[in-house]
Amino acid sequence: MNAVAVHGVGTSHFGRQPGRDLIALAEDAVREAFADAAVTGVDAVWVGTVFGPAGVAQRVLRALGVTGIPVITVENACASGTTAFLEAHEAVRTGRYGRVLALGLEQMSTAFAGAITPEPTDPEGRSGLALPALYAMAAARYLHLGAVTPEQLAAVSVKNHAHALHNPRAQYSGRYTVDEVLASRMIADPLTVLQCCPTSDGAAAAVLAPAERGSRGVGVRGIALRTGAPWNHRSPHVWGHDVVRDTAADAYAAAGLAAAGDVDLAEVHDAFTIGEIVTTEALGLVPPGDGGKAAAAGVTALGGAHPVNPSGGLLSRGHPLGATGLAQVAEVVWQLRGEAGGRQVEGARLGLVETMGGGVSVLDGNACVVAVLEAP
């Protein structure tokens, strides 16, 4: 089995870009990744997308002159991009292909209007559990337990939007105050609009191949996927906590980490502020129940002990579903190569990527991917 490294990454700009073709966005990402890896082609491609039309990947690749090689499109809800990354990793690890492209893409501005709605035939659909409402329930539970305050929720938004001031590819950024975040328009109580990821279009890509000594390739030290856990009514934890914790445990074991959360930075799935708080706890980056306090105290900010979402996260970069996981990978690769500019985590050696989502059927389609990457 091969040790696997990421030899190049690229992304489009992120934002509402209905006037740009999805293929053009994906071209931007693949061209940059190919140039970064100093390659002009690959042996196979895995593509992650949720709403991308059938054949979209092949059209992107033809535009780049990449034809005649296996292309497999995967869908795994918000984790589609990292699922493509995981499958590409597996193909290189086992020697099935030598050099593989993982590509994520989504054009939410044309695919969907408003919040993603669950299937009306599912129990959660009948209950009106669109995704903002689902996360709002988790936030309400945390508030009820005294595990977070409204101000701590808002602190995640303040932090990530400030991080994004240093990320020219992000959709939004800004120096907000906690009061401004709390005063912004209510979407699903207690989550205001500045606590929700925006509708976004974009693409991201990574080139994977066997690790080479002396190269600038970023090693994939451990990676894991879990899927399919339904709502667990018997768990004391809110939606998503258990699957993130269990997937992380698999990834940490694969990476041989000394302790859970023993990484220098993490890009996590902050589709909503409560999501980052629950996830930092589930990943073991902070003690159980300390997610909100850590955000408010700057522990998870750039310069803090456990920087989370230095890119600005989904809250700032935007959340083009299939692209998100690979945009997270790109950020961690830049960080581990010391190329993250004003948002650089100094001396970062180990970085974590976590993506967790439900499908349109939020309760059945839980999928989580966690990866630990290592500096060259």
Q: What minimum distance in Å lies between the beta carbon of 147 and a copy of itself?
A: 26
Is residue 323 within 8 A of residue 82, CB to CB? The reply is: no
Q: And the tokens for 185?
A: 């328009």
Q: Which residues contact 199 (CB under 8 A, 6 or more apart)?
A: 16, 108, 109, 112, 318, 319
Q: What minimum distance in Å lies between the beta carbon of 75 and a copy of itself?
A: 4
> Virtual CA dihedral for 269, 271, 277, 280, nearest 10 degrees?
0
Beta-bridge partner residues of 368:
226, 356
| Other CB atoms within 10 Å distance of the CB of residue 93 | 16
Q: What minimum distance in Å lies between the beta carbon of 372 and a copy of itself?
A: 18
Give the whole-angstrom CA distance, residue 146 versus residue 26: 43
Q: What minimum distance in Å lies between the beta carbon of 320 and a copy of itself?
A: 14
Nearer to a copy of itself, 66 or 139 (CB): 66
Nearer to a copy of itself, 21 or 290 (CB): 21
Give the whole-angstrom CA distance, residue 373 versus residue 345: 14
The total number of residues shown for the chain amounts to: 376
* Start-end of H helices in 108-192: 108-111, 123-126, 131-145, 150-163, 178-183
Give the whole-angstrom CA distance, residue 247 versus residue 371: 9
Give the whole-angstrom CA distance, residue 151 versus residue 220: 36
Residues that bind a copy of itself (CB under 8 A): 21, 50-51, 53-55, 58-59, 61-62, 66-77, 83, 87, 90, 94, 96, 119, 121-122, 225-230, 358-361, 364-367
Nearer to a copy of itself, 57 or 268 (CB): 57
Q: Catalytic residue positions? A: 78, 319
Q: What minimum distance in Å lies between the beta carbon of 176 and a copy of itself?
A: 32
The answer for 368, left when phi > 0, alpha when psi is -120 to 50, beta otherwise, is: beta
